[in-house]
Amino acid sequence: MNEDLMLVTGGSRGIGAAIVQLAGPNQHVAFFYRTNRAEAESCVRAAAKRGVIAKMIQADVSDEDSLLRGFEAVDKLGRLRVLVNNAGVTGGYSRLEDVSVRQLEEVLRVNVTGTFLASREAVKRMSIRRGGSGGSIVNISSGASKSGSPNSWIHYAATKGAIDTMTVGLAREVASEGIRVNAVRPGVIATDIHNGRSPEQLETLIRMIPQRRMGQPEEIARTVLWLASDEASYVTGGLFDVAGGL
């Protein structure tokens, strides 16, 4: 198949699902999901209602063999032109003094190793130096990379700081090969990432936001889709805060 294709990792819910569903009529989008098939199927149906041609692929970005199988499935669907590195975990709430090796290993494996591996495979397919037609990579970072998320998510924030640095470095590495690389740093977004917070904690967070509200996944998705599009053809190496003024 020769269709241009967007791949979204962690695309079955939250920000990832919003990106899939808002990709546009007749757009071909594949997305990776790790375990929840029912959630992935629901995303496919919701995308279809908007005219998006979405395909779900079971793949774990933190496992190289699984990720490679996922990319093999992508190759059968079309020509990869856009990768959105959205898959991520928080590693759970913890002060640094209480964080465990298991928490650290998981959050690093998914958020950092997974993003590097997926980007590696995308570059192999997109780079004009390797016979590709160019493309765009958009990484989902976090406002936590700036704030450090003390008392809750220092480990998560550190992984997103790594993604910011990787975005800038990779953008410069492949700019002459027809690939643009950018990152979006969401603020406090209304997804299940905040399920572990109490209403009082959420209210405290919201009071810190100049716009005095949480963002919606669709607001992040629209920024991602703009960066992935030809309208952003001269934009690379950028870190874009979508955080209500934070």
Note the Cα 195 to chain centre separation in Å: 19
The one catalytic residue among 33, 93, 156, 234:
156
Q: Is 156 a catalytic residue?
A: yes
Q: Tell me the backbone φ, ψ of residue 236, rounded to 5 degrees.
A: -155, 150
d(CA 215, CA 213): 6
Q: What is the largest CA-CA distance in the chain?
A: 54
What would the DSSP string read from start to end of 68-110? HHHHHHHHHH-EEEEEEE-------SB-GGG--HHHHHHHHII
| List of residues 6+ apart from 11 with CB closer than 8 A | 17, 19, 20, 29, 31, 32, 33, 40, 43, 56, 84, 86
Q: How far is CA 180 from CA 15, 55, 72, 232, in A?
A: 21, 24, 23, 9
> CA angle, corner 172, sides to 63 and 157, nearest 5?
50
The angle that helices 64-77 and 114-126 make with each other, rounded to 10 degrees, is: 30
Q: Are 82 and 29 in contact (CB under 8 A)?
A: no
- Residues annotated as catalytic are 156
